[in-house]
Amino acid sequence: MAKVKIDSKLFDRAKKAAEAAGYSSFEEFITFIIEKELMQLEGSSEGNDDVDEQLRGLGYIE
């Protein structure tokens, strides 16, 4: 697991926000935020065809 240093005040604000939003842990909140930003930066459609192929084979989509 990697560690990242952030400003203490930002950490406190984010921790409170995560608790108020109902995240089960602060780590879950941070992971979610980073994933959300990466989705926008990287684009999210690559590989969807592979997933569709798997789901179709299993009979869950048409």
Partner 1 sequence: MNKSYITIVSGLPRSGTSMMMQILEAGGIPILTDNIRKLDEDNPKGYYEFEPVKKTKDDPSWVPEAQGKAVKIIYRLIQDLPDGYEYRVLFMQRKMDEVLASQKAMLQRSGKQGATVGDDKLAKLFERQLNEFQAWIRGKQNFSILTINYHDMIHSPQSLCQKVNSFLGEVLDMASAASIVDPTLYRNRT
**Number of Cβ atoms within 10 Å of the Cβ of 33:** 14
Of 1, 3, 35, 41, the residue at the interface with partner 1 (CB under 8 A) is 35
**Number of Cβ atoms within 10 Å of the Cβ of 26:** 15
- Cβ atoms of 29 and 14 within 8 Å: the answer is yes
- Cβ atoms of 23 and 29 within 8 Å: the answer is yes
Stretch that binds partner 1, among 2-10, 12-20, 29-37 (CB under 8 A): 29-37
Work out whether 43 is an interface residue with partner 1 (CB under 8 A). no
Task: Tell me, by CB under 8 A, how many residues bind partner 1.
Answer: 19
Q: Which residues contact partner 1 (rule: CB under 8 A)?
A: 21, 32, 35-36, 39, 44, 47-48, 50-51, 53-55, 57-62
